[in-house]
Structure 1
Amino acid sequence: MRDKRFYIHTLSLLVFILGFFLGFEFASQYEQSLSIQNTIVVLFLLKQFDESVLNFQYILFNNLRVVFLLSFGGTLTFGVLTFLNLLFNTLTLGAMFYFDLTSDNLREFFFLILPHGVFEIPGLIIAGSAGFKLPYELLRFALGKKNEIISEEDAKEFFKLVGISILLIFIAAVIESTITSKLATSLVEYKLF
């Protein structure tokens, strides 16, 4: 049992890390052509990054949508949707990290990511593990390594992973809508951004 969990958690983590590094690399390749566009995008995001938009319900709904795409979408598409969703979500994070690193804004990056990211990132990785869980079990059945397609234990493990990821995403949404949004507002208000 431990081996199976290790593989699906490792796969989810590796896809997350791959997306982060690809985002970092893509951003470094297109840095010069994006410098003007990046300024426009940053101004747009700052305008959108206020407390009226970043309320709890909005953040929770968007993050739960991602969790359900990662977990149930991955199950329905044999892990493809989980892979793509994890990859694309972390591409953005990697690109943001690159731009903040090269413009000496790492402090702001960590201020805006760490408070809620401590819960959100593991929540997304665990949701990714759930999305890989049942396809992994189907593959094991197809290869003759187990007798049942999906056992009751497999289903319980899947729903446990989904439940844990929802709990972590809920905590992250509370923190993001309170602490992170106040930090962002303060950084903009005091021109620290």
Structure 2
Amino acid sequence: MHRQLFSVFKKMKLEISLAFIVFVIGAFLGALMGMGQDEVTFVDNTASATAILQNNLKACVIIFSGFVLLGIPTFISLLFNGLILGSTLKASSFYLSGAELLQRGAPHAILEIPGIVLAGAVGFQTVRILINIIRNKKVSLKEELMTASVAIIAAVICISLAALVEGFITVKFI
């Protein structure tokens, strides 16, 4: 199974890179938003692992939908999720030290962000397939669907584990 997963990563490196770049651009834009400390209200909000998982899976469904909608909702959702991350980090930096931000965010972000990026790669996959068809390159629909299926499973596992970590471990640092 791990060989198949690495094969998927290799095959989808362009889509993974694009998804990561769009997400990071959103995060940078979010961090650059013109918020001052007087405009930020810090809310101590802890949600259950189930609520976090439901929210994250809804976001993944929107990101995945780009597979059938030419990547458009994928692009918008990745950019938006990056904006939220960037603006949240900036707003939190008014109240928390860098070490506290890292302590609260890293345990689940190391799983959640790769899950979001993998979901984005699936959402952008159709664009690559169409480009290959236009270039008269051979495309195996069966192989492409298998690649998408493996990536979707990996993304859902990452997102699910991240929700468990956020709901049960990260909450202890708050």
Length-normalised TM-score, structure 1: 0.79
Q: CA deviation at 1:57?
A: 1.3
SS of the residue aligned with 2:58? helix
1:147-192 CA-to-partner distances (Å, cap 9, x unmatched) read: x4x51000000111100000111111110110111211xxxxxxxx
1:144 corresponds, among 136, 140, 144, to 136
1:121 aligns with 2:125: no
1:155 aligns with 2:145: yes
Unaligned runs of 5+ in 1: 185-193
Fraction of identical pairs, as percent? 28
Q: CA deviation at 1:96?
A: 2.2
What pairs with 1:27-176 in structure 2 (closer than 5 Å)? 30-32=34-36, 35-39=37-41, 42=42, 45-46=43-44, 49-50=45-46, 54-71=47-64, 73-101=65-93, 105-146=97-138, 148=139, 151-176=141-166
Q: CA deviation at 1:61?
A: 0.7
Q: Check conservation: 2:68, 2:126, Cα contact below 8 A.
A: no
Tell me how far apart the structure 1 counterparts of residues 107 and 51 of structure 2 sit (CA, whole Å): 18
Unaligned runs of 5+ in 2: 1-6
Q: CA deviation at 1:68?
A: 1.3
SS of the residue aligned with 1:31? coil
Partner residue in 2 for 1:17? 24
Aligned length: 167
Structure 2 CA distance for partners of 1:103 and 1:182, relative to 1, 3 Å? closer
CA RMSD of aligned residues (A): 1.9
Q: CA deviation at 1:99?
A: 3.2
Q: Check conservation: 1:70, 1:85, Cα contact below 8 A.
A: yes
Tell me how far apart the structure 2 counterparts of residues 121 and 8 of structure 1 sit (CA, whole Å): 15
1:81-101 CA-to-partner distances (Å, cap 9, x unmatched) read: 101101111111112222344
Structure 2 CA distance for partners of 1:3 and 1:166, relative to 1, 3 Å? closer
